[in-house]
Structure 1
C-alpha cells in the first residue's frame, strides 16, 4: 500500500510507533520523551498511545477484529470522540436526543477504528515521527502536537497534526489536521455528513457509517 493512500486515510485518521526514525530536528521516541518538558510530554501522550497501537498492528498477523481491539483501546484513550463527532456534525449535534447521540457515537467509533485498521495493514511499513515541542493553538487553551507519517524511503513524510484539549481525565485529541495545508478532518467530515443528514437524518448517517465500516473490514 502506498504512503499516498495512508495519508489520505489518516484520519482520523488518525499514532505513535515505539521506534521512530530520526530526521532533521527530530529524534527517536525515547530521546524525544526525555527532551520534552513534563507538560509537553503529557500533551503528546495520547498521540504516542495512538501511534504505538498503529505501529503494533502493522507488525502482527491477527484478524481484523484482533487488530481492531488494539486500535479501539487506543482510540478510546486518545480521542474525545464526542467532541470530534460534534464538530463533524455541526450545530445540529447539540439538539440530538440522548438515544440518537449514543447510537451515532457508537457507529462513529466503529468507523474510526475500522478506517485506521484498514489504512495500517500488516506490512504497511508506516513510520511515525513526533516533534518534541508542543505548539500553542490559537483557540482557547488548546495545544497542537505536530507529527509526520512516512516510510523508510520517504521521511519524514506527510505532516499530520493533532489538536489537543485538556479535560479532567487529561489531554485528548479533538481534531486532526492533514498535510501542509492543515486541513481539518472534522471540517472535511462535516462536509461529507451534511448531505446525508439533510436527506436521511441521523438514522441515514448511522447506516452510511456502518456500511463504510463493513467495507473497511472486508479490505
Structure 2
C-alpha cells in the first residue's frame, strides 16, 4: 500500500468507503476559539487512546481478528458510537424500535473496528500527530481535537479533527471532521444510510455493514 493511499483512507475514518474529502457535504465547523475551560489532556485522551491502538495494530503481526480486539477496545473507550450512529441516520433514528437500534449499533461497531483495522494494517507506517491546543465547538459545550495522519515522507499529513462531547462516561468522540474543509463524516454518510434504510429497512443497512466488514477482513 502506498503512503498516498494511507493518507486518503485515514481520512475516511467512519465512512462506507466513499470519498468524503472536499467533495462531500459542508463543513459543520466554520471557526472555533481555543478552549480554556476543560483540561486539554482530558479532552484529547480518547483520541490518544485510539491512535495508540491503531499504531499498535499497524506494528503487529497478529491476525485480523486479534488486531480487531486491540482496536475494538480503543473504539469502545474513545467513541460514543450510539451518538455517531444517531447522527449518521438523522431524524429517522428516533422512530426505530429499541431492538433495531441495538442491532444496528452492534453492526456499526463491528464495521467501525474492521474499517480501522483494514486501513491501518501491518506495515502501513502511518504517523499520528495530536495538536495540543483544544478548540471550542460552536455546538453546545463540545470541544474539537485537531490531529494529522501522515507518514515519514508526508508530514504532517491529512487533517482529521474530532468533535468531543462530555457525557456520563467522560469525553467521547461524536463526529469526525475530514480534510482542510472539515467535512462532517456523520453528515456525509447520512444520505447513504437513509437511502439504504428506505430501500431495505434496518435489515438492509445491517446487511450492508456486515458485507463491508467481510470486505475489510480480506483487504
TM-score category, normalised to shorter length = 0.7 to 0.9
Aligned to 2:18: none
Larger relative contact order, structure 1 or 2 (CA cutoff 8 Å, min sep 6): 2
Whole-angstrom distance in 2 between the partners of 1:11 and 1:208: 21
> Are residue 129 (structure 1) and residue 129 (structure 2) matched?
yes
Once superposed, which parts of structure 1, at least 4 consecutive aligned residues long, lie more than 6 Å away? none
**Aligned pairs, number:** 198
Shift of residue 98 of structure 1? 0.9
Provide the alpha-carbon RMSD of the alignment.
1.6
Q: Is the 8 A contact 1:58 1:125 kept in 2?
A: yes
Structure 2 segments unaligned to the other structure (5+ residues): 15-35
Contact kept, 8 Å, 1:12 with 1:112, in 2: the verdict is: no
SS at match of 1:155: coil
Helix, strand or coil for the counterpart of 2:139? coil
Alignment of 1:113-128 (within 5 A): 113-128=113-128
Aligned residues of 1:164 and 1:174 also touching (Cα < 8 A) = yes
The residue correspondences of 1:1-219 to structure 2 (distance < 5 A) are 1-10=1-10, 13=13, 39-219=39-219
TM-score of the aligned structures, taking structure 1 as reference length:
0.87
Displacement of 1:37 in angstroms is 9.2
Kept in 2: contact 1:143–1:164 (CA 8 A) = yes
Normalising by structure 2, what TM-score? 0.87
Superposed displacement of residue 3, structure 1: 3.5
Residue 198 of structure 1 deviates from its aligned partner by 1.0
Question: Are the equivalent residues in 1 in contact too, given 2:12–2:178 (CA < 8 A)?
Answer: no
